[in-house]
Structure 1
């Protein structure tokens, strides 16, 4: 597997989801598989109830994540009015929920996110993939549905700038880090700061020139969008092989 689609994710706010407990909505520091597949699906115009298309997408793509190291964790507090639970009562719209003021209760919700984050994503396709990398690139350039960074209130801050590259993963990614960083610096010194990349990378599968130091278990493998079910997967954490970085710098 030596062809990659690379694109950037940047925004004032981003929330990548985690296991939800009660009224607290945590976030990972990195976009997970579900978030990245959802981004591609939205760009392609795949609806959430199209299980066959979503399952095909889930089976045939692997991701590598590079992260900037300047993102700042933050937490918001939200008050939400919801109706009390009542048997045989169904609400079809938010307007229906708000109609009976005496039935409303206020709950406190805490939501985590990262501010001023920057992530560089590489996508690799496995044999039998339903969309070529060229098709994914075209979709990211002209998405069917709006794209956002985990929540609808977190829009993209910069264009995705998707690019196709071929070669050893370590060389392709180290060159991409330099190329995207230079592009951000040309726009603004402040944007250049965002592309100070973390020394670690996270990925699934086998990719030449990447050396794993640790195996992690993430629960972000989509099983059903309708039921909002997720399974566990193994993610490798590691770095570029030194010889690959030296070769890319020549």
Structure 2
């Protein structure tokens, strides 16, 4: 039995939930199955429209995540533009919705306020002009501050997915990897490793914080360890080999069935809180003057 382990750490992260909407976008405190598989697809270079390969990878993998650190939930706001339309066919894309090449601006006044309507000579109903109007709205979003996650993957029985190929892709990802949103990059390399054993064995074998040997990075490593107070919050797919006994089971809607249409299926998510394993013996130091990051990029 093999388990692939890798690390997700960054100053900020966003773990989407099924309750996400236009105005309010909440976050969970750990990454779900959809987010994990999205990272794997990005590393392998699988586009959203490549449904066959994406479904093969998703069907063949079981996922688990160990969440640690304070993981404080913070709020922010952003402004976005929306389009109000009348007597126009559905827009093919957001870019098409904001395209005004075939429209003429007309100044309108409603309730004492003036605004611009972009009008077309003909709409769906030729007797009426088509028009669209742009609005600016405020959206509220949550993100996670100061969290670190260990992610574990294993192959579902009967499926052929190569964990070593995924590990190699995580070292040299085809697409950029980020923690939920494009403005939230990884703060450490994923550092993937394939280990023998099930989930609990992988948790013991793969440390939460890597060991650094250089001065600044060594202090950074100590700083990360000081923030790992409390136990480990563990969530995993039903049937993951070597998992502990579940304390709670929840039905979550985060199993990606189509990235093109952004559809997700419902799955049972097993959860438990486990004690943090004792620190493992330090591995042999790399050559003097090199950090673990230098060694990582040489692999």
TM-score band, normalised by shorter chain: 0.7 to 0.9
Q: What is the distance in 2 between the residues matched to 1:97 and 1:91?
A: 11
Does the residue aligned with 1:207 lie in a helix, a strand or coil? coil
Does the residue aligned with 2:39 lie in a helix, a strand or coil? helix
Q: Find out whether 1:192 has 2:192 as its counterpart.
A: no
Q: Corresponding residue for 2:161? A: 131
Q: What is the distance in 2 between the residues matched to 1:137 and 1:187?
A: 28
Q: What is the distance in 2 between the residues matched to 1:83 and 1:182?
A: 47
Q: What is the distance in 1 between the residues matched to 2:270 and 2:91?
A: 45
* Aligned pairs (5 A) from 1:142-181: 142-177=172-207, 180-181=208-209
Native 8 Å contact 1:216 1:236 kept in 2: yes
Q: Aligned pair count? A: 243
Q: Corresponding residue for 2:10? A: 11
Q: Corresponding residue for 1:97? A: 98
Measured against aligned partners, the alpha-carbon deviations of 1:183-202 in whole angstroms (never above 9, x if no partner) come to: 26835222223444633311
Native 8 Å contact 1:69 1:198 kept in 2: no
Does the residue aligned with 2:165 lie in a helix, a strand or coil? helix
Distance verdict in 2 for CA 1:155–1:36, change over 3 Å: same
Q: Corresponding residue for 2:292? A: none
Q: Corresponding residue for 1:77? A: 77
Task: Tell me the CA shift for residue 94 of structure 1.
Answer: 4.2
Distance verdict in 2 for CA 1:195–1:176, change over 3 Å: farther
Q: Corresponding residue for 1:214? A: 248
Does the residue aligned with 1:88 lie in a helix, a strand or coil? coil
Task: Tell me the CA shift for residue 238 of structure 1.
Answer: 1.9
Native 8 Å contact 1:66 1:119 kept in 2: yes
| Residue range with higher mean Cα deviation, 75-84 or 233-242 | 233-242
TM-score by length of 1: 0.86
**Structure 2 stretches lacking a partner, 5+ long:** 106-115, 118-132, 282-299
TM-score by length of 2: 0.73
Measured against aligned partners, the alpha-carbon deviations of 1:42-88 in whole angstroms (never above 9, x if no partner) come to: 00000001111111111010112111131110111111123322413
| Residue range with higher mean Cα deviation, 123-132 or 35-44 | 123-132
Q: Corresponding residue for 1:88? A: 89
Task: Tell me the CA shift for residue 219 of structure 1.
Answer: 0.9
Q: Corresponding residue for 2:236? A: 203
- Of 141, 158, 163 in structure 2, the residue corresponding to residue 111 of structure 1 is 141
| Residue range with higher mean Cα deviation, 184-193 or 19-28 | 184-193
Q: What is the distance in 1 between the residues matched to 2:275 and 2:26?
A: 33
Does the residue aligned with 2:218 lie in a helix, a strand or coil? helix
**Structure 1 stretches lacking a partner, 5+ long:** none
Q: What is the distance in 2 between the residues matched to 1:192 and 1:56?
A: 37
Q: What is the distance in 2 between the residues matched to 1:127 and 1:158?
A: 31
